[in-house]
Structures are given as C-alpha cells and as structure tokens.
Amino acid sequence: MVKKTDIIELEDVVVKFVGDSGDGMQLTGTIFSELAAFSGNDLATFPDFPAEIRAPHNTIAGVSGFQMHMGRRPIYTPGDMCDVLVAMNPASLRANIKWVKTGATIVVDENTFDEKAISKAGYQTNPLENGDLTDYNVIKAPISELTKKSLKDLNIDKKLAMRAKNMFVLGIILYLFERDLKRVLKLIEMRFAKLPEVVKVNKTALESGYRYAETIEGVKSRYRVNPAPMERGKYRNITGNVAAAWGLLAASEKSGRPLFLGSYPITPATEILMELAKHKSLGAKVFQAEDEIAGICSAIGASFAGSLAATTTSGPGFSLKSEAIGLAVITELPLVIVNVQRAGPSTGMPTKSEQSDLMQALYGRNGECPVIVMVASSPANCFHYVYMASKLAMEHMVPVVLLTDGYIGFGSELFKIPEVDQLPQINPPLAKPNEPGYKPYKRDEKTLARKWAIAGTEGLRHRVGGLEKTNIEGSVSTDPLNHQLMVKLREEKVNKVVDFIPEQTLVGEKSGDLLVIGWGGTEGALKSTVKRMQEENYKISLAQFNYIKPLPKNTRSILANFKKIIVCELNMGQFVNYLKINFQEFHYHQYNKVQGLPFHVNELTEVFKNLLEE
C-alpha cells in the first residue's frame, strides 16, 4: 500500500550525497543532476573527493561528496547549506553536518553505524541515538541490508551487491523529489550499455529503493521543483573540463586549423585530455606525453606545423611548462595553455580548488615574456573562453594562458549548445605560398602579429627559435638595440589585444556605494550575493573579470564610479595586487579565502554589509 505524503513546492533545493570513497557518491550525484537537467531545472554541481585513490575506510579523510543545487529560477552556485543530505556512513555524517540546514532531511544507512565505524569517525556515542540529530528529519534506513536482500535472486557476489547500495539510496531520493524512475532506468542502461550484469543489478537496487521510500513512515513529505523558464534551444549538463574540450574542437572547425593537444595527465585537468581523445573522428590529434615538458613542446611543434595547438595542466605542471612558454613567446607562435588551478604549493591538495596561479600566469617565466591571460568563470563558459583564447592566440600569433579551476572544471551546469555558424569568426594570418616579400617577423600594423608561415609551404623557408631574432628578417641577433625593440614589440602586441576584447560589464548600476570585484570561478557566489543585496536596495555592483592581460579598456572608469571597492579571491590577494600595479590611485579592500573551498553566499553577504556599514 502506497502511503499519502504532503507535496512541498520549492523554488530551489540543495542536495548532497556523501559517503566513503568507493560508495559511488559521484556517480549517484551525476545521474541525479542529469535527471534534473532532463526535467528542465537550472542547476549547478560541486563534486568534492579526496586525493587518495583509496583513502582509509570509514574515516573523515576518506569522505567523498557530490553537491547539487537545482531550481526553477537561475542557479549560479552549488549552494551553501543542504536541504537534503544523504550520508552513507558515520564519517560522512560527521564531516558534513555543519553544512546542513536546521529542519533538513538526512537519509542515513543505519547498517554502517556500528561501534567501530562510529569510533573511527570521532563520535563518542551513536549520533542516531544520542539526540544529536533532533533538529533534523532523519530517515534511518537499513540500506546495506535491503540492497543485499533486493539482489539475492540475481546470484551475484556480495561485493557487487554492496556496490549497488548507492542506487538503492538514489531510488529513495527519486521518490522524495517526484522524479521519473523510468528515465533514470534508461540513463543506467545508456551508461552501462556494455555491462549487462551491472545494468540489471543497478536497476533492481534502484527500483527497490524507490518502492521502499513509497512505504516507510519516515518519509512524510515529498518535494516538487518545477522547471525553470529558459530560452528555446538544445541544452545539456556539462562540466567545465568537457566544455573546454568542446571549445577547442569548435575553434578548430571555425578556423580551419587541425587540432593538436599535447598534454600529461594531472588532476584536475585530465578530463580535457580524455574528452578530446574521444573525438578523433572530428580530426582531433591527442598526444599523452611522458611529462609536462614533452606535452607543451609537442604542442609548439604542432603550432609550427600549422595546427591549433593546445596543452592542458594544473599548477605544478604549469611550473614545468614555463621555459617552453617562453619559447612560444619568442617564436611568436599561437598556443593555448589551459591551467585548471588547484590548491598548492607543490602537490598541495590536488582535488581542492584555489585561484593561486594568477601571478604565475602573468609573470612566471624568465625574461620579458608577455602572454595573453584570460579566465573562465563557470563550467559552461569554459567553452566560450577556450574558444576565445584559441581565436586570440591564432589571430595575434601569441600564446594565451586560460585559467580555470577545479571548482568549475569538475563542477557542472546547464549549457545551451551553440550553433557553430553563430560563433565568432577566426581568421588566422596565414602566409600564402610564394608570398611576395614574406619575412618571418614582418608585422600587421593593427595587431603587430607576424604571419603564420606553415612549415613546408612553398617559398616560405624561414627560421624561428629560442635565440633572439632581428626584427622583420629573423636572423639570430645579440644586438642590444634590436633586443630592446623586439621586447617592446612583443609587449605591445599583447597590449594591442585590448582593442579586440569586449569592455568590462557590470552586474548592477554603473555607480554606487560598493563595487565587488572577482575573477574566474568565484562568479557564481559573487553574483548570487550581489543580486540578493540589490533586492534589499543596497547600491552594490559586481565586476567579474575574464580578461586579465590586457585588462578591458574601461576598467579605470569603472573603478572611479564607486565609493568603496572590495576584491574577493580564493588566494592571498593576487588580483588585488595586480590592480594596484595598474591603478594605484584607488583604495582596495580585500576578502580572501584559502581553504580549498568556494565562497558561500552567506559569508559574502556578511562581509559586504559590514563594509557598507563602516
């Protein structure tokens, strides 16, 4: 008999799945977010997992989580506090209870709350029995036991049965949110199409969890989140790393240049390499190099040969690539370097996010070595900014560093798939065979870019390399005046890009009491906070920068129109120091966070209100 439950309609909701590494929380969260996308909700996700391949069992260090924020209104962040928490063991409950709203629903696998696991998690007594959770609606379900019971007729081993308990709990959550069970069954069939036994096990566990939720008394309410109003078009849920890979593919098609990626696997950038490896049918050539240096050097060689060349990495690998970036600068070859930032220094916290590589991107090379520096600011717009990085690299014959971070590289949101014919044109300055008067460093007057003479083109024999060359002719030179001229030309070439990038936009009015400045992946939290405060009639605006070197033309005029300025970063203040170098006349407040965690809307709201009330 199916019980009657109340239906609660919500504007938005935050759901978090947490458990031991190996409990399948990333898969569970991914499937649930894909279903939300199919259902028409706007969404943002935040996977959070340990760096160890197999962290110690039942410890806080081994907790893996996946948070999703979905709604019927625009969603910019994965959310601050959870409305629903799924905790598969005591350690995951203890690690995440601080992120749960009072009155929220907590689903736990009570079978895992044995004395040993409770002690390893740091509890003195069982939190399911000692009154710690009285402020929450707790659904204590024997998930492990019921999963095994539901699969007993399939004659599978115990280990495989236990791996399906994430599907059992997903069934409970599908019931809680009135989600279409049939659609999820199809998703499972698609995801595990080559593993029929896994499909059968997961489908059985999922249906059993759904039926269990229909009958237990602990579920007193169900939640309804209606579809969000959106522009017509084709959408999909996409991670920042996949979007970055697609941006490179689109730029290759639009420019007519074959795509080459030379990279070495590194967390959290490896998925770009993996995604492009799937698309050889589109002409992508992917080379997994033996190290970071080989990766970027192979890409420089591919650029010399006429390819749209790219390399991907994170902070430690970016350090290793620095000398080769200098080679791309002095040879004036186009190159896209994507740095998916993570917490450092050294190996640091590989699966945690920071914005700590900005100064490295701007200045981290020997000699006067200017490159274009750009940043993406959401999972979906990684596509756009990788595309634009490719366009600027080829049209201006210069390396471009594009910074993303683990937060948006692993995170996902809805992405409206663009029509390729609507993307900006990309027109590389290709030299023609036997072009009269061709010289390797002869430049375009507007861009100062030299022409791209693809190796092997008839009549265009030339020499480029790591030694300084004479202007125009390209002969090796140690002449001091020529060196100063070439250094100046390379810097001016990058600075002239300001004429080819958009002016900085604002979220809010052009003047006011407080200007909030951010860059990169902090956009969601900053935009959500500023919009909330604007609704409360605060005179506050946001400038979220995506073009760093050069900065947009109107940056100074924007800064001049506000009484106070605060720069918010997930580092110790790298962008604010860069602004101080360029615009010394302004006073800047700072808010910095270096915890491997994103900003939260509530913390930012408190900071901004305190600053306005000073």
Question: Domain boundaries in the chain?
Answer: 6-224, 236-422, 512-613
Distance CA 604, CA 608 (A): 6
Phi, psi for 607 (deg, rounded to 5): -60, -45
pLDDT tens per residue across span 492-531: 999 999 999 999 999 999 999 999 999 999 999 999 999 9
C-alpha dihedral (521, 523, 525, 528), degrees to nearest 10: -160
Q: What percent of the chain has pLDDT over 70?
A: 99
Domains 236-422 and 512-613 share a fold: yes
DSSP states along 266-282: -TTTHHHHHHHHTTGGG
Fold of 6-224: Pyruvate-ferredoxin Oxidoreductase; domain 3 (3.40.920)
Where are any strands of DSSP class E within 88-145? 100-109, 137-141
The identity of residue 508, as a single letter, is G
pLDDT digits (tens, 9 = 90+) for 559-582: 999 999 999 999 999 999 999 999
Q: Which amino acid is at 209?
A: G
- DSSP strand pairing (335-341 vs 308-313): parallel
In angstroms, rounded to a whole number, what is the distance separating the alpha carbons of residues 68 and 14? 6
pTM: 0.95
In this structure, what DSSP letter does residue 89 have?
S
Cα 343–348–349 angle (5° rounding)? 65
Residue 528 contacts residue 433 (beta carbons within 8 Å): no
Just give the CATH number of 512-613: 3.40.50.920
Give the number of other Cβ atoms within 10 Å of residue 537's Cβ. 7
pLDDT band with cut points at 50, 70 and 90 for residue 1: very low
Cα–Cα dist 99/94, whole Å: 10
The predicted-structure confidence for 158-186, as pLDDT tens digits, reads as follows 888 889 999 999 999 999 999 999 999 99
Which CATH architecture fits 236-422?
3-Layer(aba) Sandwich (3.40)
